[in-house]
Structure 1
Amino acid sequence: MTQTLDIAVVGATGSVGETLVQVLEELAFPVATLHLLASMESAGSSVMFAGKKVRVREVDSFDFAQVKLAFFAAGPAVSRSFAAKAQQAGCTVIDLSGGLDQALALVPEANADQVASLTWPALVASPSSAAVALAVALAPLKHLLDIEQVQVMAALAVSAQGREAVNELARQTAELLNARPLEPRFFDRQVAFNLLAQVGATDEQGHALLERRLVGELRMLLGLPALKISVTCVQVPVFFGDSFSVAVQSRRPVDLEAVNQVLESAESTELVERDDYPTPVGDAVGQDVVYVGRVRHGIDEEQQLNLWLTTDNLRKGAALNAVQVAQLLIKHMA
């Protein structure tokens, strides 16, 4: 990459935004000028980039005509308020919030070919961290398996809900370990040493917004719009790193040896030996791959493939995928 770009990061002081800035530096992304943007409350603070402190400014007054590419790493409301404005100013937008239904979801390992269908300046989405992990693991297997159905239990880290959720888990843990009364604040009940059977509010059918989002994103990423997908998202008392129990139903018997060969050779998966399994704390956090373990048939069901996945939700699932999408886009930018 020789061309340098003026870039904006919206939500630069949040957990994902800070990780995104870090990944831009680590990958030597061709940044000319980096504009860090946030709400009025966070404006005036600084974030380190390339050995220098970069001052954070208010997004409300920023002129997006100054940049060619903008990452939106704040909430859905911010993306809905400013992404269209940025695109109209000639800026390509990569949204990480899930708030723009019209944006094409991209995971380079799964559907990089879809970039050819974009018009410029483009509006694309780096999907939910759960969708990224699942797409990275399942896309290489799509042509090996005749996939009929996918069932997922997603064990999600609290960091997906921001720094306030991380602080809440830490506070609850400290209170319980010190035998002090527990008063939930961010979550509606105790999350420390506990499991919460839903993440966010549910609709009339009992499905959470994140569960429905994950189904739609995974169908788009795999190019299987009619794929049957069942998802349950569970909040677990883990700070960083999502994990997934996945059951893939094939229309024909699954060749486990071939599955292992594909996963071992795929660029962004790390296959763990048969007598071992990966964990978020011991393996995934801080790493750039999706770890895969416990590869096996279903019990008495050779047409079913069972997998255990774990990955760093802030890094690979969010920031790294967004930067990899940007690397893909700048090769095609008009």
Structure 2
Amino acid sequence: MTRTFDIAVIGATGSVGEALVQLLEEREFPVATVHLLASGESAGRALSFKGKSLRVRDLETFDFSSVRLVFFAAGSKVTQKYAALAGAAGCAVIDLAGGLTAAQAPRVVPEVNPQAVAAMKAPYLLTSPSACAVALSAVLTALPAHIRIQRMTVTACLAVSSRGREAVAELARQTAELLNARALEPRLFDRQMAFNLLAQVEQTDAEGHSALERQIADDIKQLMALPDLPVAVTCIQAPVFFGDSLSVSLQTEASIDLKAVYASLDTAPALELVELDDFPTAVGDAVGQDVIYVGRVRAGLTDPAELNLWITSDNVRKGAALNAVQLAELLIKHYL
């Protein structure tokens, strides 16, 4: 008889939380009882799961001892407040918000570093890293083993959904205002987002880097076990609802064998390689899909040891919710 597990999804009413619930059903995760939780203002809503309407409950009053596994998808502050309580109750924790340090909860992508879980002890606290890091690390892992990366530069064009439902609504409202020749009133964003590119995402520190840019760099170095790798990250806010796109440049030790790169990427299970006569887009290819698209694979203009890539994936589904569910599948198969 297949074992089943009582689980909780915190932040069930958000974009990632809803995608989590959907994927748990689609992938036939062995759920006995699923508890949908949110803050007090979102509690009381109903979500569908396996043909039933489940009421979202208030996180504040939840008893963590009633479940074996908890997904945290409600922001870093919520994780910081409740993850220790969940762990103390014996729950495995999967944090999707980056609220725990790497020492508290290692960043894990099943296609990249599943062995990181084997070194841990119960209760298991894991972090599903930033969506950009999930996509990028999966591609880097699929490259031929002989490639040695010396430096990495990433320009991440992020969908507004990376900032939650409010940002999606803001882009929709701004777009409607402009198309109907009404005066634009920025709210969540400090300036026009529709039909525009913003050169930074969220606030920057004294050195000009945002917390997300630092997080992506740190995530990549941990996932790839390359703590000293120089990684430069620039995050750009793009006027796209869902789907992140990354322009990546890798400086390597030796000249790139493009045929070997194509062959490795083409056979990687989590990737879809698009040949040079075409290219993938977030809207046309990645949104709603469970694979990561890679295109524009080419050497540098003047440096044969430079490898350039274009990567796009669904930031909510693949980059966040699916990776977290795959982590849960890894836990219940081998550790819980």
Q: Are positions 1:285 and 2:287 aligned together? A: yes
2:30 maps to 30
Unmatched 5+ stretches in structure 2: none
Measure, in 2, the Cα distance between the counterparts of 1:329 and 1:149: 33
2:226 maps to 224
Deviations 1:202-253 (A, max 9, x none): 0111000000000110101111111110000000000000000000110111
1:91 maps to 91
- Is 2:73–2:95's contact at 8 Å kept on the other side of the alignment? yes
Q: Are positions 1:75 and 2:75 aligned together? A: yes
Measure, in 2, the Cα distance between the counterparts of 1:45 and 1:79: 21
1:170 maps to 172
Q: Structure 2 length normalisation: TM-score?
A: 0.98
Measure, in 2, the Cα distance between the counterparts of 1:210 and 1:130: 10
Counting only pairs closer than 5 Å after superposition, residues 57-206 of structure 1 correspond to structure 2 as: 57-101=57-101, 102-141=104-143, 143-206=145-208
Gap change, CA 1:34 and 1:207, over 3 Å in 2? same
Q: Are positions 1:20 and 2:20 aligned together? A: yes
- Is 1:199–1:208's contact at 8 Å kept on the other side of the alignment? yes
Deviations 1:139-192 (A, max 9, x none): 122623111111000000000111100000000000001110001001111100
- Is 2:144–2:261's contact at 8 Å kept on the other side of the alignment? no
Kindly state the Cα deviation for residue 332 of structure 1 after the two structures are TM-superposed.
2.5
Kindly state the Cα deviation for residue 112 of structure 1 after the two structures are TM-superposed.
0.7
3-state SS of the aligned residue for 1:166? helix
Measure, in 1, the Cα distance between the counterparts of 2:233 and 2:2: 42
3-state SS of the aligned residue for 2:114? helix
Measure, in 2, the Cα distance between the counterparts of 1:66 and 1:332: 21
| Runs of at least 4 residues off by over 4 Å | none
2:240 maps to 238
1:45 maps to 45
Deviations 1:42-100 (A, max 9, x none): 11111100110111101111000000000000011100010110000000000000111
Residue identity in the other structure for 2:43: A
Kindly state the Cα deviation for residue 2 of structure 1 after the two structures are TM-superposed.
2.2
Deviations 1:78-136 (A, max 9, x none): 00010110000000000000111121001011101111111101110001111101011
Q: 2:315 aligns with which of 313, 316, 322?
A: 313
- Is 1:142–1:222's contact at 8 Å kept on the other side of the alignment? no
- Is 2:152–2:232's contact at 8 Å kept on the other side of the alignment? yes
3-state SS of the aligned residue for 1:119? coil
Unmatched 5+ stretches in structure 1: none
Measure, in 1, the Cα distance between the counterparts of 2:207 and 2:275: 40
Q: 1:267 aligns with which of 245, 261, 269?
A: 269
3-state SS of the aligned residue for 2:250? strand
Residue identity in the other structure for 1:225: P
1:5 maps to 5
- Is 1:172–1:192's contact at 8 Å kept on the other side of the alignment? yes
Measure, in 2, the Cα distance between the counterparts of 1:332 and 1:283: 33
Residue identity in the other structure for 1:280: A
Aligned length: 334
Measure, in 2, the Cα distance between the counterparts of 1:42 and 1:299: 52
Kindly state the Cα deviation for residue 283 of structure 1 after the two structures are TM-superposed.
0.3
Measure, in 2, the Cα distance between the counterparts of 1:314 and 1:326: 17
Measure, in 1, the Cα distance between the counterparts of 2:151 and 2:291: 24
- Is 1:10–1:73's contact at 8 Å kept on the other side of the alignment? yes
3-state SS of the aligned residue for 2:121? coil
Kindly state the Cα deviation for residue 321 of structure 1 after the two structures are TM-superposed.
0.4
- Is 1:241–1:313's contact at 8 Å kept on the other side of the alignment? yes
Residue identity in the other structure for 1:155: C
Identical residues among aligned pairs (%): 61
Residue identity in the other structure for 2:283: V
